[in-house]
Amino acid sequence: KRAAYRAARDLPSVTQDGVDVTLLMNAGLLIDMAHLPETGAAGVGLYRTEVPFMVRSDFPDTDTQAELYRKILDQADGRPVTFRTLDIGGDKVLPYFHEADEENPAMGWRAIRIAMDRPGLLRGQLRALIDASEGRALRVMFPMIANVDEFRKAKAMLDKELERAEQRGKPIPESIEVGAMLEVPALVFQIDALAGKADFISIGSNDLLQFLFASDRGNPRLDGRYDSLSAPVLSVVQEIVRRCARSGIDLSVCGEMAGSPLDALALIGLGVRRLSMSPANIGPVRDTVRSCVTTSLQGFTESLLNRTDRSLRGAMLNFARDHG
Ligand code: PEP
Ligand code: MG
């Protein structure tokens, strides 16, 4: 099967009725980048910048970071890379940076919240990203945004760093796009307020589902209790799709949902056209995309929204079997 996926890597990711679905890859370490040509992914939809921070014993300085980001962009060879700024705290602990113990780390001092309180960390990272881009496209996204003000502040820091680079006569990125991760349910109802501010939104379904069902993503006791293929999740995704379309904001999904063929099918049925996933999932999801017809899929997925079953996985599987 692996060989078959490899052979199919250059086949376009287009549905039977001619709809393009962009397949992107998630990455963290430099070695992950080798999967880009291997899988035929269109780019990196989520580069988790905290991963290289996690395998060290102290904070990398700005130059060290810039060197790494430059290598990532070199390896991407012109394909877009979306750098997510540090998402530490919660389940991602840096051995050299842990402050007070928290009762609820997933809902605690993490990600953009740390960046707001320790602006030096984010500033250094943004500086490194700008430095590494030099004349190339730069895409930056901020994790765990819960309100528009956090996004506005983070983006202002990026603008300030750009200005600084310009003043110093340094090469700046050829283009810049800035986005927010949608992981906190409250952000769904602020998408309209991000219009004109955010270029894109990426749904982090791992965190979004954990908060939607109040169900710790790392607790094995809760495995299988809630299903991503269920009416509440699909309804939320539908609402996000609508609001993003209305606000002119590009949408992608970069959590685990995007990499599961059945979940991806539902996402496509709801109008999502950009999916970012682990490299190993690209082949199976490409097969799924190439075998589906969006018009019938859309009707079917929307019919699922009224169902009360705990899981719609069986229903989706039957549909997939009946439709190639
Ligand atoms: C997510 O929450 O879905 C996500 C992509 O981010 P992470 O898994 O790194 O928290
Ligand atoms: Mg997350």
- pLDDT tens, position by position, 216-274: 999 999 999 999 999 999 999 999 999 999 999 999 999 999 999 999 999 999 999 99
Residue whose structure tokens are 């309180």:
117
Give the mutation target among 44, 87, 92, 277 for probing the ligand 1 site: most ligand atoms within 8 A of CB: 87
The number of beta carbons lying within 10 Å of the beta carbon of residue 128 is: 24
Q: Quick check: CB of 50 below 6 Å from ligand 1? A: no
Span from the CA of 106 to the centroid of ligand 2 (angstroms): 9
Evaluate if residue 316 carries a pLDDT over 80: yes
The rounded mean pLDDT for the chain is 96
pLDDT of 91:
80
Task: Tell me the mean pLDDT in the region 9-30.
Answer: 97
How does 181-197 read in b/e, with b if 16+ C-beta sit within 10 Å?
A: bbbbeebbebbebbeee
Question: Which pLDDT band holds residue 118 (cuts at 50, 70, 90)?
Answer: very high
Span from the CA of 159 to the centroid of ligand 1 (angstroms): 25
Please give the torsion angle defined by the CA atoms of residues 8, 2, 206 and 43, in that order, rounded to the nearest 10 degrees: -40
Contacts of 158 (CB under 8 A, 6+ apart): 126, 140, 176, 178
Provide DSSP, 118-141: SHHHHHHHHHHHHHHHTTSEEEEE
> How far apart, in whole angstroms, are the C-alpha atoms of residue 37 and residue 256?
21
Provide DSSP, 295-317: HHHHHHHHHHTT---S--HHHHH
Query: CA angle, 191 as apex, 292 and 282 as ends, to 5°?
Result: 30
Give the mutation target among 82, 112, 114, 206 for probing the ligand 1 site: most ligand atoms within 8 A of CB: 206
> How far apart, in whole angstroms, are the C-alpha atoms of residue 17 and residue 94?
47
Span from the CA of 111 to the centroid of ligand 1 (angstroms): 11
Q: What is the pLDDT of residues 42-70, one digit of tens each?
A: 999 999 999 999 989 999 999 999 999 99
Residue 197, token pair as written in the block: 């501010």
pLDDT of 100:
67
Helix (H) or strand (E) holding 181: strand 175-182
Higher pLDDT, 100 or 50: 50
Q: What is the pLDDT of residues 152-182, one digit of tens each?
A: 999 999 999 999 999 999 999 999 999 999 9
Task: Tell me the mean pLDDT in the region 304-323.
Answer: 96
pLDDT of 145:
98
